[in-house]
Amino acid sequence: MGGALLHSLRLMRAGIVLAQHGVRFWPQGMRVPFLLHLARVLTLPITVVTWPFRMGKPRERRISDALASLGPSYIKLGQFLATRADVIGPDLARDLSFLQDKMAPFSMTEARRALEDALHGKVEDHYVSFGRPVAAASIAQVHKAEIQDPVSGAREDVAVKILRPNIERRFRADLDSYYFAAQQIERFHPPSRRLKPVAVVDNLKRTTDLEMDLRLEAAAISEMADNTVGDNDFRVPQVDWRRTSKRVLTLEWIDAVPVAEKERLKAAGHDLKALGLSILRTFLRHAMRDGFFHADMHQGNLFVDDDGTIIAVDFGIMGRLSHIERKFLAEILHGLITRDFRRAAAIHFEAGYVPPHHSIETFAQAMRAIGEPIHGRTAEDISMADLLGQLFAYTELFDMETRPELILLQKSMVIVEGVARSLDPNLNMWTAAEPVAREWVEQNLGVAGQLRHAGEGAADLGRIVADVPRLVQRAQGTLDAIDSIAKNGARLDKAVIRDMAKEQARAGWWSRLALWVGALALVAMAYSMLSQ
């Protein structure tokens, strides 16, 4: 329980920093707990003092400055929460989407030491030349280097990504504090339980664990390369596995035009409208066809080579969708595009996303309210933030539990739609998506697709049948143990009971202390109630 005090102090510090930057972290429209109302009054004097320093700064800049000053784990937290508009509200999610993952680079001395520890031997044993960092983010930084082919002697430029020193320890400490905060929210604010705050932190932990093992990023690149081997308009960098480890990743250096530099793209003779359409459909193919997609396809991670091929980089955040989820998404998308709102509603019930005590017809009405306004309008006229806000509002109205993998996909679609729209402002993402959705539906929900999945199901059934004897044996052992407890009871001697009572009393004292400190932390964080 002593850890609760430390976590509360860390959260209090974070609350003070957020307050100093005038950041509101409580979604508008959600009922505010009494403690935050009280804290607003208590922190009013500091608001007056800090207001001149915040004056004139846009809201998203204040959020970026606050999270950057708190350190790398808070930058990642902000980027992750940008995908969770259902938790923090669409306005704050939109502001966080502007958060740039940029930090000061660590020194060349530290970079060389990290390389030598990870790859063994001197830097010169692996690279002909090793330059200064060209990009630095919260978890890692990238250097440009050269390697030499041992046979031909030819030199080749590569990108070398290196984890920050001690980054794992820093993230572990902050994640423990996030877990503490999420547990308190679930305990004292029942309306938030539907949003599963602890599960949100679980997802953040899984994401950062994957990002901090660069072998897994290399494996993601390799898997996407296999998935897209037949795609003529998309590719990924080649991985240099000999110079890759948990803390170092070596890749082909991409010498191409960034998607953000439209004038250079035009000068190179590229059709911007065709590129926008290609980026959007590429992403949808990865999500629907492969069930494996790049979840951070912003402009800084996309390049275009001389022949118009799109090249993606930075595979730290990836999304996966099972066949069931892809079926759900394809039919939803197809239903919205074709205005078959009842079918779009029915598959929510089939997938178990909407509890059965609700009416399909009523939910279809809600789907119509979302789908009708998008028809006949260009992406420029459609506010994706408003659209997502409606979707999240209906999830609460119909008692739908949060689906993190679908929310990550929705967030990624918003990013990709923004990139595509920057190249073609008149692009209608729904019309562009229709052929991809229709093709997936025909291939997977038609007769051939159903036969294929039936065959896969038969193979699974065969494995289960083969495993039945072992399962029965384990089940019988469990039943015997339960039967023994039922007959004989579970016995504790007096000494054990006395020790348990002491521990309970001690834990109760620490719990009360932690709650008081937690309340103080909430007071400090209550600047989130202040106007921006």
Residues labelled as active-site residues: 296
CB of 284 closer than 8 Å to CB of 273: no
CA distance 459 to 474: 23
Structural Rg of the chain based on CA atoms: 26
Closest-CA residue to 256 (of 216, 301, 212)? 301
Give the helix ranges, DSSP H, for 286-403. Answer: 323-338, 341-350, 360-371, 384-397
CA distance 259 to 265: 8
Sheet holding 155-163, edge to edge: 129-136, 140-148, 155-163, 248-252
CA distance 336 to 342: 10
Q: How many residues would you count in the chain?
A: 532
End-to-end CA distance of the chain: 36
Packing angle of the helix pair 404-423, 197-211 (nearest 10 deg): 60
String of b and e for 89-120 (b: at least 16 CB within 10 Å)? bbbbbbbbbebebebebbeeeebbebbbebbe
Structure token pair of residue 362: 């009523």
Closest-CA residue to 350 (of 335, 372, 369)? 335
Provide φ and ψ at 239, rounded to 5°: -90, 135
User: What does each C-alpha distance from 460 to 447, 450, 466 come to in angstroms?
Assistant: 20, 15, 10
CB of 178 closer than 8 Å to CB of 77: yes
Q: Provide, for the chain, the percentages of residues in helix, strand and coil under a 3-state DSSP scheme, each rounded to the nearest 5.
A: 65, 10, 25
